[in-house]
A and B are shown apart, each in its own frame.
Chain A
């Protein structure tokens, strides 16, 4: 392989963020904008996960019978994973609020086009 898994994951995360920003800025449909924003959050999460990955390592769960030193040297770094759990839930709840606002705005304006709804 040309790239190792970690680097490839980082590039995937970067691609997701760029796709998301593109969708949020340039697409006119509000639902599409929200989908794009969800991708930005996913990209940031993948980035954090890739930070904690250890090539050829093991999962960071200490099972009885493992040698302590061997575990300490081979386990992946667990801190980013703990953070991502929080971050995923925050992203989902933010998205739910945005979709709720969009539903109200659709009732008011009868359109999902950002240029019509959000323009003054």
Chain B
């Protein structure tokens, strides 16, 4: 059951992050589908991939994007 919830979170989270006008918010919201994917990988019997995805998808990618936003412009023009 919980895997279906995770899938819905992934899709909604990705759409939500692309809909933000504030780019910093968008960057942080990309962490949600990333983390949900990590949990989903755990349910799909891939614990080692889940570990990697948890670090890369929910921490590294949002931080990189947030850094780029911080160095450029926060609000979409």
Contacts and interface: CB of A to CB of B under 8 A. Distances in A.
Q: Are A and B close enough to touch in the complex, i.e. CB under 8 Å? A: yes
Interface of A: 1, 5, 8-9, 12, 15-16, 19-20, 23, 27, 29, 31-32, 34-36, 38-39, 42, 45-46, 49-50, 52-54, 57-61, 76, 81, 84-85, 88-89, 91-92, 95-96, 99-100, 102-103, 106, 111-113
Interface residues of B, number: 41
Q: Which 8 A-B pairs have the closest CB atoms?
A: A99-B68, A76-B45, A106-B72, A12-B7, A53-B44, A81-B46, A29-B76, A103-B71
Contacts, number: 128
B2 to A, nearest CB: 10
Main SS of chain A's interface residues? helix
